[in-house]
């Protein structure tokens, strides 16, 4: 194990927003310790700044504008973790703070303890394509097996948004009467974890040697990343049944997943083919690559298979995965990796993709996400929609709508 000090630059520089130290625990999982000070919205920050000085001085930038060696070491560790396990554990992240995550998890424990009828009043079915609300036990499964979990789906409150009416954009269903604190906690957490997602993207931009700001500009900014908040509640398995999972083996669909958890259960398939327990460290976030990031990096970053085993008898578990996805209108074209990065891509990378729901890398992200949402809402008609993914087996809930939907907003094809 080693510790490095500050991730970036000196405190004297006002535009350096990330300071971090990084820790590598014993293989296989990389643990990093960041001290982040992101700006208040995801859109205007450039946290892992490699900015050049404003003058065109022919010599290297002044020290406070140069990424510190420790910063580059961190970036290299993230790069290496994503190329192998496709996953690392970020510890002591100040955003979202440990206090916020703990409060949120406590509020969800209250929510899940509510009578079934209170939870069912917030059923996902009522929320339409905003895809927000309560997902009851039995609502999801993996490969024909029902997952042992119930869940809450949410996201930023889109009271008015240019993509309003498109799937995943809309209003939440919160248990305001019974757990009034949950609303603010979810919304606050969603904002903070999005900031963390942006930080990881900035780190990846440097790691992949892409042009500065490339991922933010091409993938996140059209008009903003799709932000899918989830909280799952897992219960112990019924011994008699056997072979049950909290969530079965799968890879994630999107760009990055950032997950908090209050107990053991999550396992990742190692490059050597072994299921490994992902450690539970309070205040930490599991960060993993999703299928589309695997494709965008031409297979350099691995979207890992993972699963959650049910908690021990007499216990339960809460996890809070956040799916940080490309923007709805972001075009899915492979990152223009320079030769030194490209040369790191393993020859057999493409083999992984036959197991995902993707067919080709084409179109915009909304065309992939639309397929996923359409599985839940079979009557969904998306304008000029050409599906570019196969349907996944994950979603068991089908929510027929009565009337043919009208959707505002265009999908650029």
Ligand X SMILES: O=C(O)CCC(=O)C(=O)O
Q: Which residues bind ligand X (CB under 6 A)?
A: 232, 247, 252, 261, 265-266, 306, 308, 319, 321
Nearer to ligand X, 67 or 246 (CB): 246
Rounded-to-integer distance, Cα 301 and Cα 296, Å = 9
Which is closer to ligand X, CB of 67 or CB of 254?
254
Asked if 292 and 257 touch (Cβ cutoff 8 Å), the reply is: no
Query: Which one of ligand X, Fe ion, none interacts with residue 140, CB within 5 to 8 A by kind?
Result: none
> For ligand X, which is the closer residue by CB, 111 or 232?
232
Whole-number minimum distance, CB 175 to Fe ion, in Å?
25
Contacted by 308, from ligand X, Fe ion, none: CB < 5 to 8 Å by type? ligand X
User: Cβ 230 to ligand X, closest distance in Å?
Assistant: 6
Listed residue (162, 160, 185) closest to 171, CA to CA? 160
Do the Cβ atoms of 303 and 273 come closer than 8 Å? Answer: no
Q: Which of Fe ion, ligand X, none does residue 196 bind to, with CB < 5 to 8 Å depending on kind?
A: none
Minimum separation from the CB atom of position 106 to ligand X (A): 17
Chain center to CA of 185: 18
Could you give the 3-state DSSP secondary structure of residue 207?
helix
Considering beta carbons, is residue 304 or 363 the nearer one to Fe ion? 304
Structure tokens at 179: 């757990």
What does 319 bind: Fe ion, ligand X, none (CB cut-off 5 to 8 Å by kind)?
Answer: ligand X
Closest to ligand X by CB, 210 vs 228, is 228
| Count of residues engaged in binding Fe ion, rule: CB under 5 A | 1
| Beta pairing partners, 275 | 269
- Cis (ω within 30 of 0) for the bond into 28? yes
Residues 258-295 as b/e (b if ≥16 CB within 10 A, e otherwise) read bbbbbebbbbbbbeeeeebebebbebbbbbbbbbbbbb
Give 48 or 87: the residue with its C-beta nearer to ligand X. 87
Residue in the block written with tokens 């690559």: 289
Closest approach, Cβ 368 to Fe ion, in A, equals 16
For the window 218-257, what string marks contact with Fe ion as x by the rule CB under 5 A?
----------------------------------x-----
Q: Which does 119 bind (CB under 5 to 8 A by kind): ligand X, Fe ion, none?
A: none
Rank residues 265 and 363 by Cβ distance to ligand X and give the closer one: 265
Distances in whole angstroms, Cα of residue 223 to Cα of each of 22, 115, 227 = 32, 39, 12
User: Which of Fe ion, ligand X, none is residue 292 near (CB under 5 to 8 Å by kind)?
Assistant: none
Query: Is residue 140 involved in binding Fe ion (CB under 5 A)?
Result: no
Alpha helices in 113-158 (DSSP H): 116-120
Tokens of 57: 């001085």
Residues that bind Fe ion (CB under 5 A): 252
């Amino acid at each position: 194990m080693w510790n490095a000090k500050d991730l970036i630059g000196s405190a004297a520089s006002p535009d350096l927003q990330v300071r971090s130290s990084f820790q590598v625990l014993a293989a296989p999982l990389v643990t990093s310790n960041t001290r982040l000070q992101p700006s208040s919205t995801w859109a205007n920050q450039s946290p892992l700044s490699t900015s050049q000085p404003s003058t065109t001085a022919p010599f290297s930038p002044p020290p406070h504008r140069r990424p510190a060696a420790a910063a580059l070491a961190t970036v290299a560790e993230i790069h290496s973790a994503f190329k192998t396990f496709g996953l690392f554990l970020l510890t002591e992240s100040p955003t979202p703070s440990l206090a916020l995550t703990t409060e949120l998890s406590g509020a969800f424990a209250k929510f899940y303890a509510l009578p079934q009828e209170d939870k069912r009043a917030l059923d996902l079915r009522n929320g339409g394509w905003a895809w927000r609300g309560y997902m009851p036990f039995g609502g999801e499964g993996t490969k024909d097996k029902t997952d042992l979990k119930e869940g809450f789906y949410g996201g930023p409150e889109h009271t008015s948004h240019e993509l309003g009416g498109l799937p995943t954009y809309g209003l939440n269903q919160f248990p305001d009467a019974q757990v009034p604190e949950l609303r603010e906690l979810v919304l606050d957490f969603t904002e903070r974890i999005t900031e963390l997602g942006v930080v990881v993207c900035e780190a990846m931009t440097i790691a992949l040697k892409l042009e500065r700001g490339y991922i933010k500009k091409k993938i996140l900014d059209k008009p903003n990343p799709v932000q899918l908040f989830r909280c799952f509640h897992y219960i112990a398995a019924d011994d008699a049944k056997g072979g049950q999972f909290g969530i079965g083996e799968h890879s994630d669909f999107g760009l990055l997943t950032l997950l908090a958890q209050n107990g053991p259960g999550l396992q990742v398939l190692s490059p050597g083919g072994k299921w490994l327990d992902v450690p539970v460290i309070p205040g930490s976030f599991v960060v993993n690559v999703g299928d589309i990031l695997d494709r965008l990096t031409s297979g350099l970053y691995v979207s890992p298979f993972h699963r959650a085993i049910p908690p021990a008898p007499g216990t339960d578990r809460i996890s809070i995965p956040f799916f940080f996805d490309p923007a709805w209108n972001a075009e899915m074209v492979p990152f223009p990796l320079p030769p030194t990065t490209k040369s790191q891509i393993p020859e057999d990378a493409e083999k992984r993709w036959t197991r995902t729901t993707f067919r080709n890398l084409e179109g915009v992200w909304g065309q992939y996400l639309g397929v996923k949402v359409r599985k839940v809402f079979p009557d969904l008609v998306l304008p000029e929609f050409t599906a570019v993914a196969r349907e996944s087996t994950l979603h068991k809930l089908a929510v027929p709508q009565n009337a043919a939907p009208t959707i505002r907003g265009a999908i650029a094809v």
